[in-house]
Amino acid sequence: MTNQQAISGILFDKDGTLLDYAKSWVPVNYEVARIAANGDEALSHTLLSACGMDPETGFVFPDSLLAAGNTVEIATGMVLAGAPYTVEELTAKLDGLFANSADYAVPVTDLAAFFAGLHAKGYRLGVASSDNERSIRETARRFGFAEYLHYVAGYDSGYGVKPEPGMVLGFCAATGLAPHEVAVVGDNNHDLHMGRSAGAGLTVAVLTGTGSPASLSEASDFCLKDITELEGVLR
Residues 96 and 141 in one domain: no
Residues 79 and 186 in one domain: no
Residues 124 and 86 in one domain: no
pLDDT for 4: 65
Select from 104, 122, 152 the last residue of a domain.
104
pLDDT for 235: 74
Using alpha carbons, list the distances in angstroms from residue 199 to 39, 42, 60, 139, 195: 44, 44, 29, 28, 6
Low pLDDT (below 50) residues in the chain? 1
Residues 151 and 220 in one domain: yes
Residues 62 and 111 in one domain: no
pLDDT in tens, 173-221: 999 999 999 999 999 999 999 999 999 999 999 999 999 999 999 999 9
Q: Are strands 202-206 and 124-128 parallel, antiparallel or unpaired?
A: unpaired
Domain range spanning residue 78?
A: 25-104
Residues 142 and 222 in one domain: yes
- Region of 175 on the Ramachandran plot (φ > 0 left; ψ -120 to 50 alpha; else beta): alpha
Give dist(CA 176, CA 178) in Å, integer: 7
pLDDT for 3: 59
Helix (H) or strand (E) holding 174, with range, is helix 166-175
pLDDT for 192: 98
pLDDT for 1: 45
**Total domains present in the chain:** 2
Give dist(CA 55, CA 40) in Å, integer: 14
Residues 197 and 135 in one domain: yes
Select from 76, 104, 132 the last residue of a domain.
104
User: Considering the entire predicted model, what is its pTM?
Assistant: 0.91
Select from 104, 125, 150 the last residue of a domain.
104
Secondary structure of residue 152 in the 3-state scheme: strand
Residue 182, domain CATH = 3.40.50.1000
